[in-house]
Amino acid sequence: MVETTGRPIPDPKSSKHLHGTEEEEKNILGFWIFLSTDLVLFACLFATYLVLRTHTDGGPTTAQLFDIPMFTLETFILLTSSFTCGLAVREMRYNNLRRLLGWLAVTVLLGLIFVGIEASEFLSYSSEGATMQRSAFLSGFFTLVGTHGLHVSLGIVWMISVGIQLLRDRIHPTTARKLFNAGLYWHFLDVVWVMIYTVVYLMGVMK
Amino acid sequence: MKNIGQPAKRTFPWSHVTGYVGSIVLTVLALLFTVKAPFSQGSLITILLGFAILQILIQLIFFMHITEKNGPAYHSIAIALGFLFTFAVVAGSIWVMTFGSQVQ
Amino acid sequence: MLKSLISYLQNANLMIQISAVAIILTLVGIVFALTYFKKWGWLWREWITTVDHKKIGIMYLVCALLMFFRGGVDALLMRTQLAFPNLHFLNAQHYDEIFTTHGTIMILFMAMPFIFAMFNLVVPLQIGARDVAFPFLNAVSFWLFFFGAMLFNLSFVLGGSPDAGWVGYPPLSELPYSPGPGVNYYVLGIQISGIGSIATGINFIVTILKMRAPGMTLMRMPLFTWSVLASCIVIIFAFPALTVALALLGMDRIFGTHFFTMLHGGNPMMYINLFWVWGHPEVYIVILPAYGIFSEVVSTFCRKYIFGYKSMVVSLMMISIISYFVWVHHFFTMGAGPGVNSFFAVASMAVGIPTGVKVFNWLFTMFRGRIRITLPMLWTLAFIPCFAVGGATGIMLAVAPADYQFHNSYFLIAHFHQVLIGGVVYGLLAGMYFWWPKILGFKLNETLGKWAFWFFNLGFYVCFMPQYALGFMGMTRRVYTYPAESGWGTLNFVSTIGAFMMGIGFLFIVAQILYSIRHGERDTTGDPWDGRTLEWSLPSPVPHYNFAQIPVVDDMDAWWKMKQQQKEGIQPQKEPLKPIHMPSPSSLPFFMGLAFFICGFGLVFNQFTIATIGLIGVVICMLWRSLEKDTGYYISVEEIKKNEAAVRGL
């Protein structure tokens, strides 16, 4: 049979459930659909941000606020974590739990660094008086980028939970599906970040 | 189809590396264009959005493997519709709300 | 917080104090009855922890009917207040609260659970599945809806109802103009149930795409299932906009941001924009399943295949996509300019095309059919003229320049009540009568049902036709009283009579249900209407595993085809009898809903400790679910055989 990568399609005989594969397939489709609704949720936040972007009420503007090295670093870290996450899911097909967990740990670590940098970015803005209560632009900025950050934080908790389950139950259809979905979620957050990088940050510092 | 019981033969992760390198290159290029500003604002925005779309495609194809399917590709339809409505909300809202620029 | 609640109740008017006492007495009564009849265990095991789609459907239906009652009482209070000029039955504040809760409850806590009841009760049975794709998530959806509705309904005795209209437009709904907890209740109650709605949308899309019986291709799917698919597509893409609009409004109120405020660069129109990005598709979310119900009812009671099946499917899908591109017609008067208004006017009118296709298809199905006038068919027949007029006035409203005259007048009120009552309510009642015997095993009494039908249907025209005229005469919505010189008195009085006729109609439905529980005609065949789709091949009420053997489908209207073949002596194909896998019941969905409720309640009163406790509860529930091993259980072949013999009376 033709090899299809990534998607876990384990041998149903090896699982305890009689219909493991079918269940996991449904779950994965459901998760894709969830991602598409989450995409529209971010679309609404982007729309709000873009409409309110110039409404600075005499407060700091995008160009005054954004720090190029900081957001570039954030982008590199998140893109790298997406890559390591992809490698973790790839190890699943080789049934190599040790390497899988290793890459997963790297991903979680990079995620934590990302959240840390973002938190310090938010704190430094706030200490300069650029809080989310200052102007409509800042409300939109903090909410859009903060919602993404919240998603990343949730993703970290989720990946740790999946890691624990992999340690407990090894690689079998259910854990494989959970890892696969967590991976999808993580890459999806990169999709959103790429838009934030372009629309919020780059267009914010554009001359 | 691959069974978990029989591990696949280990190969170099070409698609992942390609995707990763591609996304880094696009990030750097976008940053360079923004900082050096060799184009007019309108064309720069177009180029940046084009890069962003390429980045999204990299994530979707090289990492999320959206093109793979087992039966009908319902998940691709869902994501495509998601992007259609994303465009509708963002472009529509900006279009509808530009009246504000005269009022505010 | 407690002090402010107590002082609110002390200062509230008599009606609210009476309601508070009535709520406490009802609760005490329920607790007493459950204890006295030793029903706590039954309630917990059979209902609260259930993941069975049929039971969840019944719970949705019960909630929908209760909320229908509450929203209806609100409507009657409003109509009483407006019956005569210069009346002071309600004061302005109380009137504001009542029109707000009437709208919110009817759309979000009556129509939504009612369609979810239909989804749950019918879709898995119609496609030959044993449950929905994610039974656990389905229970989560229900409890989120339930606790969201509870939170919203608590408002009028605990701190005051929202009073900024069901749309909650800022700046009125912002803190300086609505300082009480009312709007917070509105934001959080809807938010919590909205999360459940998105989950339901995902759940049913996967169910329909992945769990159809073998042989049931997409183009052999019953039209109700198609309409649910279309409706769910709209749900998953429209609800996020509501989530965002309400979240940002809530942040303005609770955390002091400036999205929609008048100061610091906020833009109230952006809320209105986002709200209607959800709000207009929402109308199609509730009407599409009603279209599906009409298709099933017409085809069954005319004993014909539906006319133009493919065009029906195409128009359903077209409506679900176009519905996303019409939202600005709710605020043409914002003045976004000729380009914007023309685009959205044309798109709004375009929705009329696929809808027209559907109406003609129903008519052509009836043409030369032998129509049996049963209760579901009666409501369907009443729907067509009512909806045609409602649609026509909708096209009038879609004409952007003319809309500047109609906007927010009683003409608009009459229009949307005509499509929502004449379309959605008639459809859902038809569906309720149609599938009631399948789910509960007995038919609803026809005579009482006809009384209900005539009172409600005639009452509708008496109530709403005068409102079109009142709109032209200049009466705007949300006025709590009017002077005698306006000349609106007579028509308003007529309208109030109509409202009470509809109220009597509703009471007849209640009487009909209560009467039929004892005396209704029992359904022993499982196929009381001579149905066409798979749910009618099952015994009524349906056993908890639905299908002992999954049927094999080879045509549209599968059960009809099987019946024809059986007459010719061909037995229908079925998969062999195997042990059936069932999901285990779980109390987590209930606790998750409760945790959301606690979190929401804390946020309503800016009590962040309570909110955090609730939020931690939510996270614990999610982690618990992720880490637990729930493999379900199996029903053995012997047990299935025994049960099938019992329920099929073999």
Chain A, nearest residue to B49 by Cα: A198
| Confidence band for B101, pLDDT divided at 50, 70 and 90 | low
Give me A31's structure tokens.
């998760």
Amino acid code (one letter) for B64? M
Token pair 């729907």 in the structure block, residue? C383
Q: What is the pLDDT of residues A135-181, one digit of tens each?
A: 999 999 999 999 999 999 999 999 999 999 999 988 888 889 999 99
Asked if A118 and A149 count as a contact pair (C-beta separation under 8 A), the reply is yes
Q: Distance between CA atoms of C573 and C128, rounded to whole angstroms?
A: 13
Q: What is the pLDDT of residues B8-20, one digit of tens each?
A: 677 888 889 999 9
Q: Distance between CA atoms of C218 and C314, rounded to whole angstroms?
A: 12
Verify whether the Cβ–Cβ distance C266 to A55 is below 8 Å. yes
Asked if C423 and C287 count as a contact pair (C-beta separation under 8 A), the reply is yes
Residue C325 DSSP symbol: G
SS3 content of chain A, % helix, strand, coil (to 5): 80, 0, 20
Chain A, nearest residue to C623 by Cα: A161
Chain C, nearest residue to A48 by Cα: C270
Token pair 């880094």 in the structure block, residue? B24
Q: What three-state secondary structure class fits C557? A: coil
Q: What three-state secondary structure class fits C551? A: strand
- Domain coordinates in residue numbering, chain A: 21-205
pLDDT at A193 over 90: yes
Verify whether the Cβ–Cβ distance A133 to C257 is below 8 Å. yes
| Short-list C209, C235, C353, C226, CA closest to C294 | C226
C-chain CB neighbours of A131 within 8 Å are none
**C198 against A12, higher pLDDT:** C198
| Confidence band for A5, pLDDT divided at 50, 70 and 90 | very low
| Short-list C493, B68, C200, C353, CA closest to A93 | B68
With 0-12 / 13-18 / 19 or more C-beta atoms within 10 angstroms meaning exposed / middle / buried, residue A116 is: exposed
Query: Which pLDDT does position A200 carry in this prediction?
Result: 95
| Confidence band for B104, pLDDT divided at 50, 70 and 90 | very low
Our CA-based measurement puts residue A142 at a distance from the nearest CA of chain B, in whole angstroms, of: 18
ipTM of the complex: 0.93
Facing C133 at nearest CB: one of A26, A56, A164:
A26
Verify whether the Cβ–Cβ distance A32 to B8 is below 8 Å. no
Asked if C254 and A54 count as a contact pair (C-beta separation under 8 A), the reply is no
Facing C627 at nearest CB: one of A37, A137, A165:
A165
Q: What is the pLDDT of residues B39-65, one digit of tens each?
A: 888 899 999 999 999 999 999 998 888
CA angle C374, C54, C584 (to 5 degrees): 170
* Angle of the A97-127 helix axis to the A68-93 helix axis, nearest 10: 160
Q: Distance between CA atoms of A81 and A4, rounded to whole angstroms?
A: 23
Query: Which pLDDT does position B6 carry in this prediction?
Result: 56
Q: Does the CB of A119 have a partner CB in chain B at under 8 Å? A: no
Query: Which pLDDT does position A24 carry in this prediction?
Result: 85
Facing B16 at nearest CB: one of A35, A55, A90:
A90
pLDDT at A31 over 80: yes
Verify whether the Cβ–Cβ distance C133 to A30 is below 8 Å. yes
Architecture of the structural domain at C39-575: Up-down Bundle (1.20)
Tell me the average pLDDT of chain B. Answer: 85
| Short-list A202, A204, A203, A194, CA closest to A75 | A194
Q: What three-state secondary structure class fits A138? A: helix
Query: Which pLDDT does position A19 carry in this prediction?
Result: 42
Asked if A77 and A114 count as a contact pair (C-beta separation under 8 A), the reply is yes
pLDDT at A127 over 80: yes
Q: What three-state secondary structure class fits C38? A: coil
Chain A, nearest residue to B50 by Cα: A198
Stated pTM of the model? 0.94
Number of B–C residue contacts, CB under 8 Å: 40
Give me C484's structure tokens.
């005698």
Number of A–B residue contacts, CB under 8 Å: 173
Mean pLDDT by 10 residues, chain C (650 residues): 80 81 87 88 92 96 95 96 93 93 96 97 95 95 96 89 93 92 95 96 96 94 96 96 96 94 92 96 96 96 94 95 93 90 94 94 92 95 95 93 93 96 96 95 94 97 97 94 94 97 97 94 90 93 91 91 89 81 93 96 94 95 88 88 80
- C141 contacts: CB under 8 Å, gap ≥ 6: C116, C196, C197, C199, C200, C203
Q: What is the DSSP string of A50-107?
A: HHHTT--TTS--HHHH--HHHHHHHHHHHHHHHHHHHHHHHHHHTT-HHHHHHHHHHH
Q: What CATH code is assigned to A21-205?
A: 1.20.120.80
Query: Which pLDDT does position B65 carry in this prediction?
Result: 87
